[in-house]
A = this chain, B = another copy of it.
Amino acid sequence: MAKEKKQVKAITSMEDDFAQWYTDICLKAELVEYSSVKGFLIIRPYGYAIWENMVDIMDGMFKKTGHQNVAMPLLMPESLLRKEGELVNGFAPEVAWVTMGGSEELEERMAVRPTSETLFCDHWSRVLQSYKQLPMLYNQWCSVVRWEKTTRPFLRSREFWWQEGHTIHETAEEAIAETEQQLNCYADFCRDALAMPVLKGRKTDKEKFAGAEATYTIEAMMKDGKALQSGTSHFFGDKFSRAYDVTFTGRDNRLQYPFQTSWGSSTRLIGAVIMTHSDNNGLVLPPAIAPIQVVVIPVAMHKEGVLDAARSLQQRIDALGIRTKLDDSDQSNGWKYAEYEMKGVPLRVEIGPKDMEKGQCVIARRDTGEKYFVPLEELEAKVQELLKAVHDNLYNAAAERLNTRIYPCQTVEEIREAAQEKHGFAKSMWCGNEACEVAMKELAGVSSRCLPLEQEKLGDVCPVCGKPADKMIVWGIAY
């Protein structure tokens, strides 16, 4: 009674059912598995290796600008969370509560960390003394829990993995500069590591983080034209400092409240990568985060010398510091090609007896499917050239989409059409009134994504109320 043999199967095409296509990739590329814990995810080795590559790169960027990692408690007493009213109101509906420790009922229930502003503030209230200690630039890599009703792999689940940066500064100006620096850091990371262009902007008051004075965001456009918020950076002013009594002795020898920021990005970015680059053959990964950047496949492996030749290629590529794998398993070539296509490996190198005779190997690109016959002595140069080409091609295709599918609109109907029929974003003027923002959801089925940092003047009036409008805003259907 053998179990069914594992096979690489075709996936739903994105044209037929984008949501199913997405789920198929998550499962068939072995990124995740649904756990038997409802709404919780298991990140499998291949998916986790992608996340590890993202973490390595981002962590290096954070450290270069002076940030240090710390670990804060997983649980926090309700009273601590309640000190800042807006924050708790924002998160309370989705907090998981611990009420028992061992066999004892707790006197006060404790929240499983949904975000850690309160813990950082509480810590700073005890350790901060002088302006000389500022800025404090902290970051934490951890998972957080939010009790979501409906969940989807990477995009929305009851637990997700993220980093949360938390900083305090002597002045508001410095804190604002930090907020902007980290927003740019996210955008640079998306461009250079994920080959994903983003739109940088500020959230409206309605969409900003609970308790923040200002929330900045990067918004990416998925292949279906929907928006994915991919990272946020918040400026809190001194509001939390006051709520948690975080003070320091300033240069003038008086007690002052520091100014605070926080910023976060998460495993959601894996979802962003999938929906930005992948196709109907499976996952497509930008080289910088691919767990395997080049797979080497010996063709007609049983023929003399083939395996050795393949191994030699693999070692030469490995010596470049490129993550590479030799697949010398007894699966068929067809199975292997499909498998590494599904897993989004950027380059496949093949070598067989005929190639050996000709002193060449074959390199196939995952993104375009193009094949190159490469003289063996040119292997290193060609692999490096092609990895760069894959990155650039992925970036350019995504940038082309983002650039051509943000439609300037004058009317509510045009906005509806841009999002619902042309499958893109809409940009329009906006009066700044929340009522108009809410109405847009009703009338066009879109939410505000951001007020782009690069503003344009598209007109003079708000498409909803017709009143004077001097802000350009971007609308879209969001994940």
Give A residues with C-beta under 8 Å from B. 1-6, 33, 35-37, 40-45, 48-49, 51-52, 68-77, 80, 92-103, 109-110, 112, 119, 122-123, 126-127, 129-130, 133, 138, 142-143, 145, 147, 158-159, 161, 247-249, 253-255
Contact among B49, B103, B122 with A93 in the assembled complex (CB-CB below 8 Å)? B103
Q: Are B97 and A100 in contact (CB under 8 A)?
A: yes
Q: Are A2 and B253 in contact (CB under 8 A)?
A: yes
Given contacts A68-B48, A95-B102, contact A76 B37 (CB under 8 A): yes
Q: Are B70 and A42 in contact (CB under 8 A)?
A: yes
Question: Which residues of B sit under 8 angstroms from A126, Cβ to Cβ?
Answer: 33
How far does the alpha carbon of A158 sit from the alpha carbon of B72 in the complex, in Å?
A: 12
Q: What is the minimal beta-carbon distance from A303 to any residue of chain B, in angstroms? A: 24
Q: Are A4 and B43 in contact (CB under 8 A)?
A: no
Contact among B5, B112, B119, B249 with A112 in the assembled complex (CB-CB below 8 Å)? B112
Question: Which residues of B sit under 8 angstroms from A159, Cβ to Cβ?
Answer: 73-75
User: Is chain A's interface secondary structure helix, strand, loop, or mixed overall?
Assistant: mixed
Task: Look across to chain B and name the residue whose beta carbon is closest to the beta carbon of A122.
Answer: B36
How far does the alpha carbon of A68 sit from the alpha carbon of B292 in the complex, in Å?
A: 13
Q: Are B1 and A37 in contact (CB under 8 A)?
A: no
Q: Are A112 and B93 in contact (CB under 8 A)?
A: no
Known: A3-B129, A3-B130, A45-B69. 13 other contacts (CB 8 A): A1-B254, A2-B130, A5-B130, A6-B129, A35-B72, A37-B80, A42-B72, A49-B68, A71-B143, A74-B143, A95-B101, A96-B102, A100-B109
Given contacts A33-B123, A48-B68, A48-B69, contact A99 B100 (CB under 8 A): yes
How far does the alpha carbon of A397 sit from the alpha carbon of B228 in the complex, in Å?
A: 57
A–B Cβ pairs within 8 angstroms, 21 of them: A2-B249, A3-B248, A33-B126, A35-B123, A37-B76, A37-B77, A42-B70, A42-B72, A43-B70, A45-B70, A48-B68, A49-B68, A52-B69, A74-B159, A92-B102, A94-B101, A95-B101, A95-B102, A96-B100, A98-B99, A99-B99
Q: How many copies are assembled? A: 2
How far does the alpha carbon of A119 sit from the alpha carbon of B37 in the complex, in Å?
A: 9
Q: Are B112 and A73 in contact (CB under 8 A)?
A: no
Question: Which residues of B sit under 8 angstroms from A98, Cβ to Cβ?
Answer: 96-99, 112
Question: Which residues of B sit under 8 angstroms from A123, Cβ to Cβ?
Answer: 33, 35, 42
Given contacts A101-B147, A129-B3, A147-B102, contact A70 B93 (CB under 8 A): no
Q: What is the minimal beta-carbon distance from A44 to any residue of chain B, in angstroms? A: 6
Closest 4 A-B residue pairs measured CB to CB? A45-B68, A40-B73, A101-B147, A97-B100
Of listed A48, A161, A254, residue having the most chain B CB within 10 A? A48
How far does the alpha carbon of A147 sit from the alpha carbon of B253 in the complex, in Å?
A: 43
Question: Which residues of B sit under 8 angstroms from A74, Cβ to Cβ?
Answer: 40, 74, 112, 143, 145, 159
Question: Which residues of B sit under 8 angstroms from A75, Cβ to Cβ?
Answer: 37, 40, 96, 112, 145, 159
Contact among B33, B94, B158 with A127 in the assembled complex (CB-CB below 8 Å)? B33
How far does the alpha carbon of A432 sit from the alpha carbon of B440 in the complex, in Å?
A: 77
Of listed A49, A102, A110, residue having the most chain B CB within 10 A? A102
Q: Are A102 and B94 in contact (CB under 8 A)?
A: yes
How far does the alpha carbon of A248 sit from the alpha carbon of B5 in the complex, in Å?
A: 11
How far does the alpha carbon of A4 sit from the alpha carbon of B127 in the complex, in Å?
A: 11
Task: Look across to chain B and name the residue whose beta carbon is closest to the beta carbon of A68.
Answer: B45
How far does the alpha carbon of A408 sit from the alpha carbon of B75 in the complex, in Å?
A: 46
How far does the alpha carbon of A130 sit from the alpha carbon of B255 in the complex, in Å?
A: 66
How far does the alpha carbon of A98 sit from the alpha carbon of B133 in the complex, in Å?
A: 38
